[in-house]
Chains A and B, each alone.
Chain A
Amino acid sequence: MTSIEHDIIQQFAQLDTHTQQRIFMQLHAYMHTPKNFDFDAWRQNVNTRNDAPCADNHALNALRELRAGEDDA
């Protein structure tokens, strides 16, 4: 273990439990995020399989209705 790693663990040990949990959750998220996600391939996939008609913001409006409890579907 390097001295930096030792210092980090020492400081981590001094934190309260909730802060430790928050840091751990964030580290866990970093570790499980795939690096080098091919966004352009993803975007191409989205754009080639999309038959949404030209009507503005239907999804945003549907989300707003859902969140406002006004979904009458």
Chain B
Amino acid sequence: MIVVDASVILASCLPSEVAHTSAQSALRFWLARNELLCAPPLLRAELTAVLRKLVYTQRLEQSSADHLLQLSLQLPIQIIDDTAIYPRSLTLAHQFGQPRAYDTQYLAVAELFNGVLWTADERFVRAVTPTCTNVFDINTFVVA
């Protein structure tokens, strides 16, 4: 199971993101192999919130945000709605000194289902490694 952080989906949709090419390459590779792509329920809320912020700060047209949100929701990513995610994400946030328990919800899904987490946020990768060996920076993705 591959858990994809919202940052990976946003990067795949927006050419202005540094991880744009890597994110698209990774998604294409995983989908060609019929890998199971998953995320916590938070994913959809974060995609919506960030696209709104980009419109509000005049970095994206409203019509483009509408379109990109629709496209991002079309990706075959399964939302894992397991209540076990939340207490575990709280523990992980405490363990890694994270002020909020958002990124750690993705990490909790990866951990609960023995999967790997890919993110475009290298700060988060640095914060949880080497303790977590299942978290990777999408900018380092190389097609095998």
Contact = CB atoms under 8 A, between A and B. Distances in A.
Query: Are A and B physically bound partners?
Result: yes
Nearest to B53: A62
Contacts, number: 123
A60 B67 contact: no
B99 A68 contact: yes
Q: How large is the interface on B (under 10, 10 to 19, 20 to 34, 35 or more residues)?
A: 35 or more
A65 B54 CA distance: 12
Nearest to B103: A67
A40 B28 contact: yes
Nearest to B115: A26
Given A22-B112, A29-B78, A68-B99, A52 B28 contact: no
Given A63-B7, A67-B100, A49 B64 contact: yes
B71 interface: yes
Given A26-B1, A52-B14, A73 B57 contact: yes
B102 A67 contact: yes
Interface of B: 1, 6-7, 10-19, 24, 27-28, 31-32, 34, 36-38, 46, 49-50, 53-54, 56-57, 59-61, 64, 67-68, 71, 74-76, 78, 80, 82, 84, 99-100, 102-103, 112-113, 120-121, 123
15 contacts: A22-B112, A26-B1, A32-B78, A37-B76, A42-B71, A42-B75, A56-B18, A57-B17, A57-B18, A59-B10, A59-B16, A60-B10, A63-B6, A64-B121, A68-B100
